Amino acid sequence: MTTENTFLSGYPKTVPIRRGQHIVIRPMRADDTEGLRQLFADVDETEYRVLRDDVSNPDVIASWTANINFDEVIPLVAELDGRIVGDIRLHRQRVAPYEKIGEIRFYVHPRYRKRGIGKALVREILQIARAVGLEKIVVEFYVEHRGLITAFERMGFEREAILPTYQVIVLSYDLTRTPEPERPPIAHADHLPPLPLWPDRRFFGMTPERYPERLNLCEILLDAVVQSAWAERPALITETETISYDLLLQETTRLAGGLRSLGVQEADPVLIYLPNIPQAVTANFAVQRLGGISVPVPPQLSRREVGYIIRDSEAGVAITTADLLPELLRARGAEKLHHIVVVGGGNDIPEGPRIVRYAHLVARSAAVDPVRRSGQEVALLLYTSREDGRPKGTAHLLEEILSVADIMGKHLWHVNEDDVLASPAPLGLGQGYLTWGIIPYRFGAAAYLLPGLDGQALANAIRQHPITILNMVPTGYRRLLELETLTEDDVASLRLCIASGEALTIHTYRAWYERFGFPILEAFATTEMLGQFLSNAVNMQPKPGSLGRVVPGYEVRIVDKHGRELPDGEIGFLVVRGPSGTLYWNDPQAQEQSVWHGWNVVGDYAYRDEDGYFWYVARQDDLIKSGGFRIDPLEVEWVLREHPAVVDAAVVGLPDPIRGQAVHAFVVPKPGVQADDALAQSILESLHGRLAEYKIPTSLTFIESIPRGPDGKLIRRMLRERVRLGHDRIL
């Protein structure tokens, strides 16, 4: 080895990859001929074009190993279990003007792809290239290799040239720029997407918040308040009790001690299958105190969905109520829970070594100190729905949760210690988790626990308790408006009403404003992003019907299908980046589709007006394409709901042999109204002149209720399935 080649002295090197495995990266040797022949035995025709060598010819491979010259080519191989599974070669020239430029070619065996081997090889060769004084690396791909092109771009390569004659794209990497620091190992990294697929997480347009390098959510949100002068201030309020910060922390620390006695350790997922009760808050903070991962599950989910979440999250302990226990035990995957902690219940709770009563566990356990972890570790799994009905896990980091709480609480809602925050959403939805699970305690405020979306229960809570900030889906506000006895004096304590989760119609906005004298401020958030990144609460200057303006700390754009930013007024895809972002759990394919060059792709059509307000058009999946037209189902639904005989409505596209899709309406008639052909005809005729003709439904079905999720969002796939199965009469 020459003096110049001392950069190879650090090899062989053991490098971690996905699935908890490790590869050995080392320079190619003269005895690697047979191993390389096996590596390239399954190369297909398209990959020959990337390799640019006839690796099917044994003599070619033999020439590589017989003529290793590190001055011209630096070859590395990756071994797994003693087998060569990948190689990468850095080609360099010693003549001007190319002496500072290197070219790489690489290959990973098909059986070992999607494990991070290619990325590990590229990372090593970039380090070597810097060590030998190169300033730029180039790599060439044919245009059909879109997956490879995207993967390299996510590693920091940029498009330098396109050679149309040869259908080749040249990517380059600038070695003179300062390399990004290596991230420390992350617990459960095998469940998370590769780092190149992570979004660009940082604060935009504002000074970033600073957090300790190692932290604990419970310590920051509860201990800090108790150690101040506010220990006796209310933390939780229900219809029947008020719990101080001091009492909440005491129960949290004892429950944490109890969970530790059941085997819960740092980074362990714990299922929280509870309604909106104080124990849900205690459970979340107890898991966080141990440095675990909270997996809150809305109790409205089906048994099948709960079972999927148990299996996908790999939770070993669950916390639930006596009422929900039978449903939990019947879920497929419940057998994997080695302990189930049960809140409430009498003698009817089944006995067994894995069933533990919450009250007994708290009473017999000692308090434990908080476990501090890196802010880049996963602390929360929230599950959202996907088109096939299976829940999809979204992972959220410790620093991310604090960042969102600070942005929404400090810069958006301006929360102070006298506020009482409330949302009927369960802890398992971002809206509930933030509104009554996290944000109040950051500011010494209180959370009121609403049981659900029942209009009368909402009204009673608002009348009897000083709720100041209300955050819920527009359905909740419509149910309050249905109560004729609710007056302006009844809602006098409310200083901020936020709507998110579904579209806030102009009719609902105006009815609320005219009746109570202050607006509902619509906002936009996704489970993946955790917090609201568009809101009419920005500067408190709402535009009815809009999603609002960009929340401080975020950057939002409207782009076309190629990622190019569109001018104001043009409809495109909504993309966002900020201190929170999309991290799918066990779903690298969804991650690859949802993050473009560091931007989170929301999957919705929208546009921005000249004042910087964003307007929702439709979800990409929900947009109806009929006869060459694109139809927003929300627009049709708004007009349908204005009919005097209609309580609720939903619109979907159904297959049509002529137009591609036909517009079909589902309508919930008002009680006492005869739902017959005459009413259907009346409803459809009322749309003429109020909608473009191509937007008017061609058929209609009366239905008892519109299917909605626990967050109040409409579930269109269930409506399409009803038609497919022939459950309803189509008029």
Predicted confidence (pLDDT) at residue 214 exceeds the cutoff of 90: yes
Query: What pLDDT sits at residue 3?
Result: 40
Give 622-725's CATH code, choosing from 3.30.70.20, 3.30.300.30, 3.40.50.10470, 3.40.190.10. 3.30.300.30
Residue 17, pLDDT > 90, answer: no
Cβ atoms 573, 605 nearer than 8 A: yes
Q: How many CB atoms lie within 10 A of CB 436?
A: 29
Q: Given this model, what pLDDT does residue 246 score?
A: 97
Note the Cα 200 to chain centre separation in Å: 14
Paired strand residues for 469: 421, 496
pLDDT digits (tens, 9 = 90+) for 149-180: 777 876 788 888 877 766 788 889 999 876 55
What does the pLDDT look like over 493-539, one tens digit per residue? 999 999 998 778 888 899 999 999 999 999 999 999 999 999 999 98
Pairwise CA distance, residues 731 & 728, whole Å: 9
Report for 200-209, 323-332, 716-725: range of highest mean pLDDT: 323-332
pLDDT, residue 387, reads 58
Do 291 and 216 meet the contact criterion of CB atoms below 8 Å apart? yes
* Range 173-179, long-range pairs (CB < 8 A, 24+ positions): 173/126, 173/136, 173/137, 173/138, 174/135, 174/136, 175/126, 175/129, 175/130, 175/134, 175/135, 175/136, 175/137, 176/135, 176/136, 179/126, 179/130
What pLDDT digit, counting tens, does each position of 248-271 carry? 999 999 999 999 999 999 999 999
What is the C-alpha to C-alpha distance for residues 432 and 449, in angstroms, rounded to an integer? 10
- Ranking 19-33, 398-412, 622-636 by mean pLDDT, the lowest is 622-636
Q: What is the mean pLDDT of residues 71-96?
A: 89
318 vs 306: CA distance, rounded Å: 11
| Placement of tokens 């190629």 in the chain | 562
Of 6-10, 223-227, 238-242, 289-293, the least confident: 6-10
Sign of the Cα pseudo-torsion (535, 539, 545, 550, in order)? negative
Q: How many angstroms separate the CA atoms of 452 and 472, rounded?
A: 10
Query: pLDDT band at 185, cuts 50/70/90?
Result: low
CATH of 214-614, one of 3.40.47.10, 3.30.70.360, 3.90.1150.10, 3.40.50.12780: 3.40.50.12780
Secondary structure string (H, E, C) spanning 159-192 = EEEEECCCCEEEEEEECCCCCCCCCCCCCCHHHC
Q: How far apart are CA 99 and CA 93, in angstroms?
A: 5
661, 674, 670, 650: which is closest to 722 by C-alpha? 650
Query: By mean pLDDT, which of 41-45, 124-128, 442-446 is the weakest?
Result: 41-45
Check the CA dihedral 120-126-128-131 and report its sign: negative
pLDDT at residue number 694: 78
Per-residue pLDDT at 210 exceeds 60: yes
Residue 182: its pLDDT value, please? 52
Nearest to 215 by CA among 410, 376, 367, 430: 376
pLDDT for 195 equals 79
For the segment 64-90, the average pLDDT, to the nearest whole number, is 90
Q: Which tops the pLDDT comparison, 697 or 605?
A: 697
Token code pair at residue 590:
């969804």
Mean local confidence (pLDDT), 89-93: 88
Average pLDDT over residues 684-712: 86
The pLDDT score that the predictor gives to residue 635 is 81
Residues 648-679 pLDDT 10s: 999 998 887 767 788 999 999 999 899 999 99
Nearest C-alpha neighbor of 301 from the set 715, 609, 716:
715
DSSP 8-class letter at 490: T
- Which is it for strands 73-80 and 83-92: parallel, antiparallel or unpaired? antiparallel
Q: Which residue bears the tokens 């990409």?
A: 620
Nearest to 127 by CA among 67, 73, 72, 180: 180
Spatial separation of the C-alpha atoms in residues 133 and 175, rounded to whole Å: 9
Residue 1 has a pLDDT of 43
Q: Which two tokens stand for residue 603?
A: 């999957």
Return the top range by mean pLDDT from 40-49, 525-534, 585-594: 525-534
Q: How far apart are CA 346 and CA 163, in angstroms?
A: 75
Residue 181 has pLDDT above 80, yes or no: no
Lowest mean pLDDT among 86-95, 311-320, 576-585, 667-676: 86-95
Domain boundaries, the chain: 3-182, 214-614, 622-725
Per DSSP, 410 falls in state I
Residue 122 has pLDDT above 80, yes or no: yes
pLDDT at 2: 47
**Coil/strand/helix, residue 675:** coil
Please state, in angstroms and rounded to a whole number, the distance separating the CA atoms of residues 247 and 231: 8
Q: How far apart are CA 634 and CA 547, in angstroms?
A: 14
Express as a percent the part of the chain with pLDDT over 90: 57
For residue 422, report the phi and psi dihedrals to the nearest 5 degrees. -150, 145
pLDDT for 728 beyond 70: no
pLDDT score recorded for residue 563: 85
More confident residue, 626 or 247: 247
Q: Cβ(382)–Cβ(530) under 8 Å?
A: yes
What is the percent of the chain where pLDDT is above 70? 93
Instruction: Kindly state the tokens that stand for 655.
Output: 């297959």
Q: What's the half-sphere exposure (Cβ side, CA atoms, 13 Å) at 385? A: 21
Residue that is written with structure tokens 């070597």 in the block:
128
Rounded to whole angstroms, the Cα distance separating 375 from 372 reads 9
Identify which has the larger pLDDT, 462 or 301: 462
Beta carbons of 476 and 712 less than 8 angstroms apart = yes
Mean pLDDT over each residue of the chain, to the nearest integer: 89
For residue range 449-473, what is the model confidence (pLDDT) as tens digits? 998 888 899 999 999 999 999 999 8
Q: What is the DSSP string of 122-166?
A: HHHHHHHHHHTT--EEEEEEETT-HHHHHHHHHTT-EEEEEETTT
Two tokens, residue 628: 């060459």
Classify 556 as helix, strand or coil.
strand
Name the burial class of residue 521, with classes exposed (0-12), middle (13-18) and buried (19+) by CB atoms within 10 angstroms of its CB.
buried
> What is the CATH architecture assignment of 3-182?
3-Layer(aba) Sandwich (3.40)
Q: pLDDT tens digits for 413-432?
A: 999 999 999 999 999 999 99
The reported pLDDT for the residue numbered 101 is 92
646-667: burial string, b at 16+ Cβ within 10 Å, e else: bbbbbbbbbeeeebebbbbbbb
Q: What is the pLDDT of residue 452?
A: 85
If one counts every other C-beta atom within 10 angstroms of the C-beta of residue 502, the result is 17
Q: With 80 as the cut, is the pLDDT of residue 133 above it?
A: yes
Residue that has been written with the tokens 């009413």 in this structure:
679
Instruction: Name which residue leads in pLDDT, 154 or 391.
Output: 391
